[in-house]
A and B are shown apart, each in its own frame.
Chain A
Amino acid sequence: MKRHLLEAADLDRDDATLVLDTAAQIESALAGREVKKLPTLRGRTVVNLFYEDSTRTRISFELAAKRLSADVINFSAKGSSVSKGESLKDTALTLEAMGSDAIVVRHGASGAPHRLAQWVQGSVVNAGDGTHEHPTQALLDAYTIRQRLGRLDGIRVVVVGDVLHSRVARSNVWLLATLGAEVTLVAPPTLLPVGVGSWPVQVGYDLDAVLPKADVVMMLRVQAERMNASFFPSAREYSRRYGLDGRRMGALPDDAIVMHPGPMNRGMEIAAVVADSARSTIVDQVGNGVSVRMAVLYLLLGGASASE
C-alpha cells in the first residue's frame, strides 16, 4: 500500500483486494460483540478535515477511527481559522504540528488531498475532493457488491447519472476496472465528461437497453443546481429518461442489486419503491462504509509510522 489514499488508482488489484479482505475480517471479528472496539490504533491521532459539510462521511470515518481506538479530531471549515482565511497549507501544517498521524480530508477543490500530501508527513485519506474522486466510497461499493454477489470479476455494473460532476463515479470506474468488473456509464451526454472515451468503460445513453444485462445498477445523485445550468431540460424529463422506477427495476435480472451513494433524491433518480426494495443495498452500503474505512485506516496507519 502507498502511504496515502488519494484516488482509486493508488490501489492495484492486490491492494484493493487486501482492503476488502481486511474489512471483511474486521466485520466478522466485531460481529455480535458487545465491545465494538479494537486497540489497534491506540495513541494515533486522526484528523477529519472537512471543508464541505458531509455528516454521513465524517461520522463514518469518525466511527471507524474510534473503533480502532485512535484519537479523533473533527475540524470543519465553518467557524474555524479556515473561515478567517487560513490557507490549506497553513491548516495542514498546524494540524500536523499538533501531532496528527492521518488527515481525512473532504474538500470542494479537486486535487486538494494531493496538495496536502505534498505538505504533510502523515497519511492523507481523500474523503471526497471536488469533482475528482471519493475512493473509500468506491471501496465500500465494491465491498457491498462482493458481499451480495460473491465476486467482482466479470460483474456488470451500470452507473447512471451525473458522471461529469461525480467523484463517486470516477472512483468507481477506476476501482471496479482494477477489480475486473465491467462498467457501463449511462447518462445524458451533457453529464458525461469530454474525454470519457479514454476511460475503461462502455458508454450509453439508453438506460432501458442496458438494464436486462446488469448485475448492479448504481444510481448517482442529481444535484438540483444542474437543472438551472441546462444540463437537462427538467427534473421530470431527467427522471423519465434516467430515473430508476419500479418498471425499470422489473427489467433487471433476478439477482441484480441497486446501489446509491446517498443522499437520495427519492422520486428524481430513484423511486421510493426501488430504494426500499430487497434489491436495494443502500443501508448495507452505510454499514459497510465503517468496516471499509477501518480497514483503510488500519492499513495506512498500522504500519511503520512516517517518522521511522
Chain B
Amino acid sequence: MTESSALPVEPSPAPLLSAEDLARVVDRIAHQLIEKAGPDLAGLVLVGIPTRGAPLARRLAARIEAFSGVQVDVGTVDITLYRDDLRLRGVRALEDTRLPETGIDGRLVVLVDDVLFSGRSVRAALDALRDLGRPRAVQLAVLVDRGHRELPIRADYVGKNVPTSRSQSVKVRLAEVDGADSVTVTQ
C-alpha cells in the first residue's frame, strides 16, 4: 500500500482538488518545468514512482509536448526493493522499472510522485537511480506536499502544499489507476 491509497472513508469528504483543479495543477507544473529547464528540456527525463507517479509523469510529458512541442523521455522506477520499511509494511507486488533506452547518464532526471510525506519514498528512488546510472542532476516534482518530512528532502515542483496532521490521510486518485481524478484528505 502506498501512503496515498488509504481506503475510502464514508461519507466521502469534499475533494481538496477536483478533476479540473488537478488538471490545472499538472499544467502549472509542466509550465514550470519548461521554464526552469530552458535549453535542457529536450534532454530531460521524467521518472515516475509507481503506482501514481507513473501516470503523472506521462501526463506531465504530454502537457510539456502540448505547450512546447518538445517530446521528453518518460520512465518509471519501482522503489519497493529499496524501501527501508519492509519489515513494517510487509511485501507487495513489484511494479515496472523502465528507463529510456538512452539511459539517464548525464541527464536531468525529474522524479515524479503523487504525495510527498516523510521523504522515504524519494530517498528509496534516489538509491534506485544511483544503481541505474549517473544523472547530471535529480529534481523532484510532486502533486501534493503534505509536510511531516523525516529526511532532508524537498520538492522542486509542488502542485499544492497541504498542511495536514499526521493522523490524516491524503488520497490521490488518477483516472489511469482509479477511474477518476481527485485529491481528498480524510481523518
A and B touching (C-beta < 8 Å)?
A: yes
Question: Chain B contacts of A38 at CB under 8 A?
Answer: 81-82, 131
Least Cβ–Cβ distance between B72 and chain A, in angstroms? 22
A-B contact count (CB 8 A): 52
Given A25-B95, A29-B97, A37-B131, residue A308 in contact with residue B87 (CB < 8 A)? yes
Question: Chain A contacts of B94 at CB under 8 A?
Answer: 21-22, 25-26, 29
Instruction: Indicate if the CB atoms of B131 and A304 lie closer than 8 Å.
Output: no
Q: How far is the CA of A86 from the CA of B131 in the complex (A)?
A: 43
B65 at the interface (CB under 8 A from A): no
Question: Chain B contacts of A25 at CB under 8 A?
Answer: 78, 93-97
Which of B81, B90, B127 is close to A29, meaning CB atoms less than 8 Å apart? B81
**Least CB separation from A299: chain B residue:** B91
Given A35-B131, A298-B81, residue A304 in contact with residue B93 (CB < 8 A)? no
A247 at the interface (CB under 8 A from B): no
Question: Chain B contacts of A1 at CB under 8 A?
Answer: 91
A28 at the interface (CB under 8 A from B): yes
Q: How far is the CA of A117 from the CA of B88 in the complex (A)?
A: 23
Q: How far is the CA of A38 from the CA of B80 in the complex (A)?
A: 10
Question: Chain A contacts of B78 at CB under 8 A?
Answer: 25, 29
Question: Chain B contacts of A303 at CB under 8 A?
Answer: 86-87, 90-91
Interface string of A60-75 (1 = CB under 8 A from B): 0000000010000000
Q: How far is the CA of A308 from the CA of B21 in the complex (A)?
A: 42
B132 at the interface (CB under 8 A from A): yes
**Least CB separation from A17: chain B residue:** B93
Q: How far is the CA of A39 from the CA of B96 in the complex (A)?
A: 17
Can you list the 4 inter-chain pairs with the closest CB atoms, starting with the nearest?
A: A25-B94, A303-B90, A302-B91, A40-B81
Binding site for A on B (CB under 8 A): 78, 80-83, 86-88, 90-91, 93-97, 127, 131-132
Instruction: List 29 A-B pairs, Cβ < 8 Å.
Output: A1-B91, A18-B93, A21-B94, A22-B93, A25-B94, A25-B95, A26-B94, A28-B96, A28-B97, A29-B97, A33-B131, A33-B132, A37-B131, A38-B82, A38-B131, A39-B82, A39-B127, A40-B82, A40-B86, A68-B81, A298-B81, A298-B91, A299-B91, A302-B91, A303-B87, A303-B91, A304-B88, A304-B90, A308-B88
